[in-house]
Structure 1
Amino acid sequence: MAGRIEAVTRVMLHMAVELEERGIIDGPQFSAGLRESLRPSPVASGHLFVARDRLQELAGNLDAARATRRSRATPGEIHKGFG
């Protein structure tokens, strides 16, 4: 199960990077949406806390990948990937 989750996560990250680079999505806004999608609640179960933490982590990974691509890019060139 963990391998499947990891694979789906990586596909999602790569897709988000590709869509951002093509100008289809606003990357920072997408990351902010991930961070806000599961807010703490008094009735939330344990798995929702874990899901919220993982969404926070994914948003951070996307932001870090964006920063890495920008720092490595030369004028007119953007490098893809996750650092």
Structure 2
Amino acid sequence: MPHWRTQKASGKRIGSKLIELVEKLIKKEGHSKVTLDSTLTALKFYTSKGYIKTGDKIHDRGKVSLPCITMSKYF
């Protein structure tokens, strides 16, 4: 199991519940689109939530470069 997940939290849909809450707030504010940068490991998660790839990006943090996928979802 990846270090960022724990056995205690696994399978509780915490990530899904958080994204659903954020999307609800975004819709309530009147927005019709949300855009985010996904890590490669989270790509499958966001795709399963209806996000589509709109670009590629590298987050450069000095000695560390993190390849990401820009994704969007329309409401």
TM, length-normalised to structure 2: 0.38
TM, length-normalised to structure 1: 0.36
- Larger helix proportion of the pair: 1
- Larger strand proportion of the pair: 2
